[in-house]
């Protein structure tokens, strides 16, 4: 039995779908307010709880063989990125869990002090590595599904809003590939107690994304480039009313201000370990947007 946290999220949903396609038993940790009908229809066991409640986590971990931690921070990195994962690791040990897969983030080891999420994930990585559990840590770059709403807006308006330096590079990863890798991590021997950078096969400059959209929709892009100082000014303004939100926005700022790409060697290692070919962003978008 797999336990998947964040089972209704972009990644978690794909993990549960793929597990059910392989007829694997999976317990989906969801909130009562989550949209979990599809997971139930696919035959996942639905566990309703809150990752801020230790009692819920204790119950959810009973009788599970594998845990894939794929939940998000929901604006509270301390409680969800940090505390909930520490709790899951402790419960995994108590329950004799065979393998723990942790979804971290690319660049987590660069010491970004402005991002509570990056700091929390790095601490969780260290705790997991010292836990004695079998583990795999996956450090993905930005998910391709994040671009689907932007592509749809582009299709309707031709507009692409680019925040920050257009030359900044990233290796956007197919969210489906990441789900495949997360599942395979528990059985691939070479993935045991390893940490992987996970990205798409190409290094893209941000300015190349509207060009991909332009090819898909055969439309000239209107690129609106907002400099980071605009985000900083907004953040300062928000801080006057909501200091907590201002801190949470530090993660967004970190993501916008820096480059997150995998080296060709990292991609080669990933593809060799998991015996797959990483999908390009263009191919992912074509699949989801029905373009050929
Ligand atoms: N998105 C990216 O580009 C990216 C890049 C690198 C790493 N990551 C990491 O990858 C993981 C998955 O990201 P994602 O984009 O798939 O996340 P997401 O779509 O934002 O989903 C977050 C999930 O966490 C659940 N959740 C939040 N608070 C909860 C709580 N208190 N109790 C129970 N469940 C709770 C949400 O449930 P509800 O449905 O109820 O809201 C949802 O299922 C995260 O750890 C993220 O940091 C993401």
Residue 151: predicted pLDDT: 96
List beta partners, residue 27: 3, 45
Residue position matching structure tokens 């599809």? 38
C-alpha of residue 72 to centroid of ligand 1, in Å: 3
Ligand 1: which residue has its CA nearest to atom 25?
6
- Answer for the pair 27, 19: CB distance below 8 angstroms, yes or no: no
**Whether the predicted pLDDT of 90 surpasses 80:** yes
C-alpha of residue 34 to centroid of ligand 1, in Å: 12
Compute the distance between CA of residue 276 and CA of residue 191 in angstroms, rounded to an integer: 14
Q: How many Cβ atoms from other residues are within 10 Å of residue 77's Cβ?
A: 22
User: Tens of pLDDT along 248-275?
Assistant: 788 888 899 899 999 999 999 999 999 9
User: Tens of pLDDT along 177-235?
Assistant: 999 999 999 999 999 999 999 999 999 999 999 999 999 999 999 999 999 888 888 88
267: its two tokens: 């991609």
Residue position matching structure tokens 């599942």? 183
User: Tens of pLDDT along 98-118?
Assistant: 999 999 999 999 989 889 999
Comparing 69-78, 120-129, 194-203, 223-232, the range with the smallest average pLDDT is: 223-232
List beta partners, residue 198: 140
Contacts for 111 with CB less than 8 Å, ≥ 6 apart: none
Domains of the chain, by residue range, sit at 2-143+174-199+261-279
Q: Evaluate whether the domain defined by 2-143+174-199+261-279 bears CATH number 3.40.50.720.
A: yes
Provide the percentage of residues in the chain whose pLDDT is more than 90: 87
Residue 238: predicted pLDDT: 85
Does the model's pTM come out above 0.75? yes
Comparing 42-51, 151-160, 223-232, 277-286, the range with the smallest average pLDDT is: 223-232
Comparing 15-19, 64-68, 71-75, the range with the smallest average pLDDT is: 71-75
Q: Where are the beta strands (DSSP E) in the chain?
A: 2-5, 26-30, 45-48, 66-69, 99-103, 135-140, 159-163, 169-170, 194-198, 204-205, 222-226
User: Tens of pLDDT along 11-41?
Assistant: 999 999 999 999 999 999 999 999 999 999 9
**Whether the predicted pLDDT of 176 surpasses 90:** yes
- Name all residues whose Cβ lies below 6 A of ligand 1: 6-12, 31, 33-34, 50-52, 70-72, 74, 80, 103, 105, 140, 142-143, 146
Ligand 1: which residue has its CA nearest to atom 44?
72
**Whether the predicted pLDDT of 292 surpasses 60:** no
Average pLDDT estimate for 70-83: 96
Residue 291: predicted pLDDT: 66
């Amino acid at each position: 039995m797999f336990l998947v946290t964040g089972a209704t999220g972009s990644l978690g949903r794909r993990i549960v779908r793929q597990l059910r396609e392989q007829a694997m038993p999976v317990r989906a940790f969801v909130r009562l307010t989550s949209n979990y009908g599809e997971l139930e229809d696919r035959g996942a066991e639905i566990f309703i709880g809150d990752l801020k409640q230790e009692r819920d986590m204790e119950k959810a971990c009973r009788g599970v063989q594998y845990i894939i931690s794929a939940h998000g921070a929901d604006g509270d990195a301390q409680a969800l990125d940090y505390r909930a994962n520490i709790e899951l690791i402790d419960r995994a040990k108590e329950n004799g869990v065979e393998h723990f897969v942790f979804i971290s983030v690319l660049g987590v080891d660069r010491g970004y002090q402005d991002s509570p999420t990056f700091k929390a994930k790095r601490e969780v990585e260290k705790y997991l590595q010292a836990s004695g559990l079998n583990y795999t840590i996956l450090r993905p770059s930005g998910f391709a599904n994040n671009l689907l709403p932007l592509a749809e807006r582009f299709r309707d308006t031709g507009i692409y809003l680019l925040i920050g330096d257009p030359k900044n590079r990233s290796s956007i990863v197919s969210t489906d590939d990441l789900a495949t890798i997360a599942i395979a991590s528990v059985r691939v021997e070479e993935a045991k107690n390893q940490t992987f950078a996970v990205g798409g096969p190409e290094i893209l400059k941000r300015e190349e994304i509207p060009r991909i959209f332009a090819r898909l929709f055969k439309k000239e892009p209107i690129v609106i480039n907002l400099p980071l100082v605009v985000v900083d000014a907004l953040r300062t303004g928000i801080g006057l009313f909501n200091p907590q939100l201002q801190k949470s926005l530090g993660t967004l700022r970190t993501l916008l201000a820096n480059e997150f790409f995998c080296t060709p060697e990292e991609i080669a290692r990933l593809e060799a370990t998991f015996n797959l070919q990483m999908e390009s962003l263009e191919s992912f978008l074509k699949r989801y947007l029905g373009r050929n």
